[in-house]
Amino acid sequence: MSRLAVVCGGSRGLGRAVALLLAERGCRLAVLSRSHDAAQAAVKTLHGADHVALSCDVSKEQEVQKTFETIQKTCGNISYLVNAAGINRDALLLRTKPEDMVALLHTNLLGSMLTCRAALRSMLHTQDAAIVNIGSVVGLKGNAGQSVYSASKAGLEGFTRSLAKEVASRNIRVNLLAPGFIHTDMTAGLAEDRARSVPLGRFGTPEEVAQAVLFLLKSSYITGQVLVVDGGLQLAM
């Protein structure tokens, strides 16, 4: 029987690349994003059948709870959870509106906490379940103009390391993947000359991140770790 993988933020960017790769590798996918149409469009491009698209705003507790109940009822137990739903609101702190701070923390940090919590009950019934949270090198190293985004991702690192300790005895693994600059909608506004700050000289692709997510999901003896996928960027930060 194929393994069930839930990808939050699976309609675009890194999450979509992860969903494509996991479907190719024989998983059944539940793709979540705020827009049902966008999630459905992504599902239509996946290899194989039986995948589902669900609209879910990960920052809303009741929506998350209901969505994961639906997944459990219609698809069964969850083997893999990938938290790739995220937003950025880059600005110097003095120019950051409090509502943007709340949105960043609620989506990037609280959102992953809520989905992990909702998925864990189901994962307890699965062999070798695994979670990958998508952080950022900015959460590890900091960056001017991204203090709140950075805080949301640094929080996610602490959450990941702690949850890994909490659930290891149940053979559930939890890791964080920290990308650098990757070509997606989120980085579309960034000038290409930023690539010069990357030791490998270019932005990464969503497919390169997806391969690393797959590695973490499959690595049965790795938990509570941070895997940096950034073309060497953090060395230069």
C-beta of 28 vs 153, nearer to ligand NAP: 153
Query: Quick one: tokens of 184?
Result: 């997606």
C-alpha dihedral, 234 to 153 to 8 to 60, nearest 10°:
-170
According to the binding rule CB under 6 A, does residue 86 interact with ligand NAP? yes
Calpha distance 110→101 (Å, rounded)? 12
C-beta of 88 vs 122, nearer to ligand NAP: 88
Task: Spell out, one character per residue from 104 to 123, where the chain touches ligand NAP: x when CB under 6 A holds, - when not.
Answer: ---xx--x------------
Span interacting with ligand NAP, options 82-90, 93-101, 122-130, 211-219, rule CB under 6 A: 82-90
Minimum CB distance to ligand NAP, residue 115 (Å)? 9
221 catalytically annotated: no
Amino acid (1-letter code) at residue 183: H
C-beta of 185 vs 193, nearer to ligand NAP: 185
According to the binding rule CB under 6 A, does residue 150 interact with ligand NAP? no
Query: Could you say which of 149, 159, 181, 203 is catalytic?
Result: 149
Q: For residue 176, what is the DSSP state?
A: E
Task: Spell out, one character per residue from 25 to 64, where the chain touches ligand NAP: x when CB under 6 A holds, - when not.
Answer: --------xxx--x-----------------xxxx-----
Task: Find the binder of ligand NAP among 46, 130, 173, 179 (CB under 6 A).
Answer: 179
- CA angle centred on 165, ends 179 and 27, rounded to 5°: 55
Site for ligand NAP in 193-232 (CB under 6 A): none
Report helix, strand or coil for 168: helix
User: Rounded to 5 degrees, what are φ and ψ at 205?
Assistant: -110, 155
- CA angle centred on 37, ends 35 and 43, rounded to 5°: 105
Burial of 49 (0-12, 13-18, 19+ CB in 10 A): exposed
Under a CB-based contact definition with an 8 Å cutoff, are residues 84 and 32 in contact?
A: no
Task: Find the binder of ligand NAP among 20, 148, 181, 217 (CB under 6 A).
Answer: 181
Calpha distance 149→90 (Å, rounded)? 7
C-beta of 75 vs 82, nearer to ligand NAP: 82
Just list the catalytic residues: 149
Residue ranges in contact with ligand NAP by CB under 6 A: 8-9, 11-15, 33-35, 38, 56-59, 84-87, 107-108, 111, 134, 136, 179, 181-182, 184-187
